[in-house]
Amino acid sequence: MRREYKIIDEAGLHARPASLLVQAATKFPNNIYIEYKDKKLTLKSIMAVMSLGVPQNSTIAIEVEGDNAKEVLQSLENILEDHRLV
């Protein structure tokens, strides 16, 4: 399952929420990916997420494989919304 998000935060996808996102993703057994431009990396690595350097007004996608993909995706989406990133 895959959904796209537009990052509206001035600082882009910055470290505090990025680290929460990674923390949350790590808790699920699913394979979870983040896509930006033509790169697709694991969302379970803070280094991977930070290395993308996602700026404001860019579109990213999160892709969840496996069971309960919808719920997993929703909980990640909540983090993005709680921090007003999207």
Partner 1 sequence: MRVKGIAASNGIAISKVFRLETVVLDVTDAKIENVDEELVKLSAAIKKSCAELQIIREKTALKLDEEHAMIFDAHIQIAEDPEIARQVEDMVKSSKVNSAYAFKTVSEMFAQMFEGMDNEYMKERAADVRDVARRIISHLLGVTLSDPTMINEEVIVVADDLTPSDTAQLDREFVKGFITNIGGRTSHSAIMARSLEIPAIVGTKNILEVVKNGDIVILDGLDGEVVINPTKEEITFYEQKNAELLERIAIWSKFVDKDSVTLDGKHVELAANIGSPDDVESVLKNGGEGVGLYRTEFLYMNNDDFPTEDEQYVAYKMVLESLKNKRVVIRTLDIGGDKHLDYLPMDEELNPFLGHRALRLCLDRIDLFKTQLRALLRASVYGDLHIMFPMVATLNEVRKAKAVLNECKVELAKENIKYNDDVKVGIMVEIPAVAILADQFAKEVDFFSIGTNDLIQYSFAADRMNSKVAYLYQPYNPSLLRLIKMVIDASHKEGIWTGMCGEMAGDQIAAPILLGLGLDEFSMSATSILQTRYSFSKLSYKEMKVMAEKCLTFGTHEEVKAFVENKIKGEK
Binding segment toward partner 1, per CB under 8 A, in 1-9, 19-27, 59-67, 68-76: 19-27
The Cα–Cα gap between 61 and 57 comes to: 13
**Shortest spacing between CB 51 and partner 1, in angstroms:** 6
**Shortest spacing between CB 46 and partner 1, in angstroms:** 5
Query: Which among 3, 12, 14, 56 is annotated as catalytic?
Result: 14
Tell me how crowded residue 46 is: count the other CB atoms within 10 A of its CB: 15
Amino acid sitting at position 40: K
Residue 19 touching partner 1 (CB under 8 A) = yes
The Cα–Cα gap between 58 and 6 comes to: 6
Residue 44 touching partner 1 (CB under 8 A) = yes
